[in-house]
Amino acid sequence: MNATSTIPTAANAVTEALNRLRAAAQEHPTEGQWLGGMIAAFLLAFFMPIGTARFDNAILESLALLNRYAREHVLLCLIPAFFIAGAVAVFIRQDAVMKYLGPAAHKIVAYGVASVSGSILAVCSCTVLPLFGGIYRRGAGLGPAIAFLYSGPAINVLAIVLTAKILGVELGLARALSAIVFALVIGAIMHRIYRREEQTRAANQKGFALGADQGRPLAETTTFFALMIAVLAFANWAPASAEDSAIWYAIFAWKWPLTALAGVGLAGLMVLRWRWHWQPLAITAAAVAGLAGLIPQHPELAFSAGLIGLTLTAALQPNDGVEWLSQTWGFAKLILPLLLTGVLLAGFLLGRPGHEGIIPSAWVGAAVGGNSLMANLLAALVGAFMYFATLTEVPIVQGLIGSGMGKGPALALLLAGPALSLPNMLVIRHILGTQKTVVYCALVVVMATVTGWMFGLFYP
């Protein structure tokens, strides 16, 4: 056999081998994904610039932000939010959710209820996620659920008042009005885009069985949620500043007694009205009081004892208590790993407030000066990816304005930043899917950009 005759044979062999590899990849797509992931991880580790000052500092910033988030938000803020979200899935009747927030609900009522209920929580972009997931899974329409998702961190009355005090009345008023409009418009657009899917979802939800709580009086359920929200609000009440009122000072001074009072009210409702076992709640009250008296400088320990007692009490209730814990644990498994991963990435990229990550803050300051559309877009994008704890966006923007940031980009950041963050996006994607998440985030960023640019024309 000569050399020329072997060429077609070799070509056929190569083609056949490639076809076999292609068929194997189609039959076992995860193997190819694993290989690609392992190669990417190897290249990342191989070329990681360990030893360079900025990279090493960005790693430390990511860990520092994660540490700060764990200390300040997970225990006092996020875990109570998980319990509230789990309670939404168990104790709120599905027909009530469908009536006021469902796809077929009256639009004015649905968006009004979603915006108001979201805004009174005064939570950050991460704490609102379990609550959003709870009402969405319970049957809320996509539009009202999105309005709730945006309004929770964005229409924060306390943050808006602080914005007006520190950054000027015009910026505070523009933030308030724009955030209200954003919640309604973005929710309506999302509903319009996915209206066919929402119609199918509403049809599939017809005939769903109500939970075991269908006989519980509305007043008891309302009181139950009001007390849990009171615990969440008082435990996270921010320190008073010189500009705050005497009422703010008084609430902050008595935040832990008020938190304990709300917890006692919650326990009383469970024992006296719901007939839950009183023994674990009594032991919990004693443990909380003991820790608060012995170690008053660490109130989070007493708060942790209260959470543990609530968990044990619910575990002893064979029906709705166990289901409440199951739903709460489900939200924690879904959301917490994604949030912590997102906080690490946000810290690595942008650092903590007042500190730098891998992206130099000078680049950000130079990019958002003036009032061009690009400056507003960059401000909205930076705000969308950066994590802001509740109320921290105001001093951050104040510092950026001092470094040359225009008022238009400042408003764009205030409208996109508190409502979005990288951890927030990761969790929303897990709940809604990639496409809806991209559309929602794009709507927030585009509307923030245009609104900031228009505001900057009037207030350069």
| Residue 213 is assigned to a structural domain of this protein | no
pLDDT, mean of residues 427-446: 93
Model confidence over 371-412: pLDDT tens digits?
889 999 999 998 898 877 666 677 678 767 766 788 899 999
pLDDT, mean of residues 115-135: 74
| Residue 406 is assigned to a structural domain of this protein | yes
Phi-psi region of 207 (alpha: psi -120 to 50; beta: other; left: phi over 0): left
Q: Residue 445 belongs to what domain range?
A: 344-458
Mean pLDDT score across all residues of the chain: 82
How large is the angle between the packed helices 373-385 and 407-416, nearest 10 degrees? Answer: 30
pLDDT(144) > 50: yes
In this prediction, residue 215 has a pLDDT band, given cuts at 50, 70 and 90, of low
- CA pair distance 265, 228, nearest whole angstrom: 10
**Domain count of the fold of the chain:** 1
| Residue 34 is assigned to a structural domain of this protein | no
Residue 313 CA, distance from chain mean position:
28
Model confidence over 333-346: pLDDT tens digits?
877 887 788 778 87
Against a cut of 0.75, is the pTM above it?
A: no
For residue 399, the model assigns a pLDDT of: 66
CB within 8 Å of 144: residues ≥ 6 apart: 101, 105, 110, 111, 113, 114, 187
| Residue 21 is assigned to a structural domain of this protein | no
- CA pair distance 363, 360, nearest whole angstrom: 6
Three-state DSSP class for residue 14: helix
pLDDT, mean of residues 127-136: 82
- CA pair distance 212, 194, nearest whole angstrom: 32
Of the two residues 27 and 106, the one the predictor is more confident about is: 106
CB within 8 Å of 44: residues ≥ 6 apart: none
| Residue 443 is assigned to a structural domain of this protein | yes
In this prediction, residue 266 has a pLDDT band, given cuts at 50, 70 and 90, of very high
| Residue 5 is assigned to a structural domain of this protein | no
- CA pair distance 170, 272, nearest whole angstrom: 50
Least confidently predicted of 88-97, 135-144, 365-374, 416-425: 88-97
Three-state DSSP class for residue 51: coil
For residue 295, the model assigns a pLDDT of: 93
| Residue 331 is assigned to a structural domain of this protein | no
In this prediction, residue 308 has a pLDDT band, given cuts at 50, 70 and 90, of very high
| Residue 8 is assigned to a structural domain of this protein | no
